[in-house]
Amino acid sequence: MDSHSYTYYAGAWLVTVVLTLIAIRLRRARNLNSPPGPKPWPVIGNLNLIGSHPHRSIHDLSQKYGEIMQLKFGSQNVVVGSSVEMAKVFIKTQDAKFACRPKTAAGKYTTYNYSNIAWAPYGPYWRQARKMCVMELFSAERLESYEYIREEETNSLLKSISKSAGEAIPLKDLLSTVSLNVISRMVLGKRYLDVSEDSVVSPDEFKKMLDELFLLNGVFNIGDSIPWIDFLDLQGYVKRMKAVSKKFDLFLEHVLDEHNERRTAEGEKFVAKDMVDLLLQLADDPDLDVKLERHGVKGFTQDLLAGGTESSAVTVEWAIAEILKKPEIFQKATEELDRVIGKNRWVQEKDMPNLPYIEAIAKETMRLHPVAPMLVPRRARVDCKVAGYDILEGTRVLVSVWSIGRDPKIWNKPEQFWPERFIGKEIDVKGHDFELLPFGAGRRMCPGYSLGYKVIESTLANLLHGFKWKLPGSMTRDDLNMEENFGLSTPKKFPLQTVAEPRLPPHMYNF
Ligand code: HEM
């Protein structure tokens, strides 16, 4: 056979294979029983229906199409579960099939090519990371051993608020400083971000970096849904991802170098003091199932810093904003605090079981303002059936805890902020009660939930115990804007400015 014939036969063979594959796909698509959903447009799919607050657009669509619906983001199938029953299927009964994360530009560019925990694909690397979280990083003993850090940092927050008594303060800013200090002392061994000569980033710059990281990890990047226009980076997000990741890398390199220097200097006598020490030790362990490389240690460290800082600050800011709208809640909370704690001491973590009303405020805040309103996206690992519908491998799966928290079949007057609904109820946030899933559930549930919840509860309790909260100047509660921003977390769009006045005897503020 001459070379022309070869080319001819190879070409014909290729065309036949391609046509057969297309035919199989079309036949399969025709026979599929896909979940209901709006008809997609060519190229963009249903992206035209997603507004600047995607969780709200998706909630509205689910009211029309039901508790399980299918959307198309560009060419990508997206299935949304928005009821307790559907959440149970996706992240409990069939959890293993949906325990992967989609590949996104954020995972690629901001987390060392999916080397962190949150975006790592389901598999041995991620499983090993979770084991490290359970056994080492977030074990009950370790969290307890860091309680003194949480207490010291809460005290410094209370001190700085008392110093600004009567003035308008930017609450979220102060809250994220506390959580950043708590988490950086636990993870990095010190307040890495105190302004000092050798600091590589200033605290303000670092907070901006975290805000940017959270935003970019939550945005809908069009290139993820329509891969062939990815290179255009139409929204400019990929450029921003690369820029923020570069800044984080500079900081993390510095952190790892410092930690390694101490290890080398102390030799045999070295004892791990913080989570980075532990991670570096694990990275040296020859018995690990999967090698933990330097970029993996950096990815995990970034996860811990980001996960631990933003979420609790966002939640406490929402709680105070809701209470400013309803002063009767403040009244009830302080009655409980005065009865259980008294006016001559601050609240400690161990007091929380005796403060059911404060706990109810925290839960009610997380019901109405979940930090991640659709959790972190998951990805179907195999073709499967849910509620009789076909879900194809690779489908992106969202669980709308935003919708579940507003479901009138579960909650009486769901739009109202009413902590009393939790009093006397056994509804927890630990991923067992599917009505309230602020930390998710199943294999991918937040590994830091216990730490996050402790920080939220005790910060909130002490803020309410120590201060009367007011709006600045002539602002009324009706003026208080309760809109949110959408990203990986959902903070208030307009940061809360508020005025605090001491509520306890003066000696309590001498820290
Ligand atoms: C108020 C506090 C917090 C909230 C509301 C929160 C919420 C969440 C949610 C909703 C998820 C996704 C769960 C899912 O996909 O089903 C998640 C995952 C995660 N969170 Fe948190 N979180 C908080 C605190 C923390 C803390 C303190 C850390 C670490 C220091 C942390 C680290 C992580 C990590 C690493 C993941 C990814 C887990 C995985 O994919 O396997 N979070 N968090």
CA of 380 to the centre of ligand 1 (A): 20
Q: Based on the structure, what is the number of domains in the chain?
A: 1
Ligand 1 pocket, residue 438 CB under 6 Å: yes
- pLDDT score, position 30: 60
Identify the pLDDT of residue 253.
96
Rounded CA-CA distance 348/341 in Å is 9
Q: 281 lies in a domain?
A: yes
* C-alpha–C-alpha distance, residues 47 and 110, integer Å: 24
Between 29 and 101, where is the model more confident? 101
Residue 402, domain member (yes or no): no
Give the whole-angstrom CA distance, residue 254 versus residue 244: 16
Phi and psi dihedrals of 123, rounded to 5? 160, -170
pLDDT at 13 over 90: no
Query: Is 407 inside any structural domain?
Result: no
446 within some domain:
yes
pLDDT digits over 465-500, tens only?
Answer: 999 999 998 888 888 888 887 665 677 788 888 899
- pLDDT score, position 23: 57
For residue 59, tell me if it sits in a domain: no
Cα–Cα dist 35/384, whole Å = 12
Calculate how far, in angstroms, residue 307's C-alpha sits from the geometric centre of ligand 1: 6
Out of 5-19, 279-293, 421-435, which region has the weakest mean confidence (pLDDT)? Answer: 5-19
Say whether 384 counts as a known binding-site residue: no
Please say if the pLDDT value at position 15 is more than 70: no
Does 97 fall in a domain? no
Quick one: pLDDT at residue 120? 96
445 lines ligand 1 (CB under 6 A): yes
- Which numbered atom of ligand 1 lies nearest the CA of 399? 16
Kindly report the CATH number assigned to the domain that includes residue 203: 1.10.630.10
pLDDT at position 256 is 96
What separation in Å is there between the alpha carbon of 118 and the centre of ligand 1?
A: 8
Residue 25 lies in a domain: no
Q: Is 218 in the pocket of ligand 1 (CB under 6 A)?
A: no
Residue 460: give the domain boundaries: 105-383+415-509
Closest ligand 1 atom to 442 CA = 16
Average pLDDT, the chain: 91
The tens digit of pLDDT for each residue in 237-273 reads 999 999 999 999 999 999 999 999 999 999 999 999 9
The structure's pTM equals 0.90
Buried b (16+ CB within 10 A) or exposed e, 302-332: bbbbbbbbbbbbbbbbbbbbbbbeeeebbeb
What is the bridge-based pairing of β-strands 396-399 and 76-81?
A: parallel
- Whether residue 198 lies inside any domain: the answer is yes
* Cβ-proximal residues to 384 (8 Å cutoff; 6+ apart), any chain: 94, 97, 390, 391
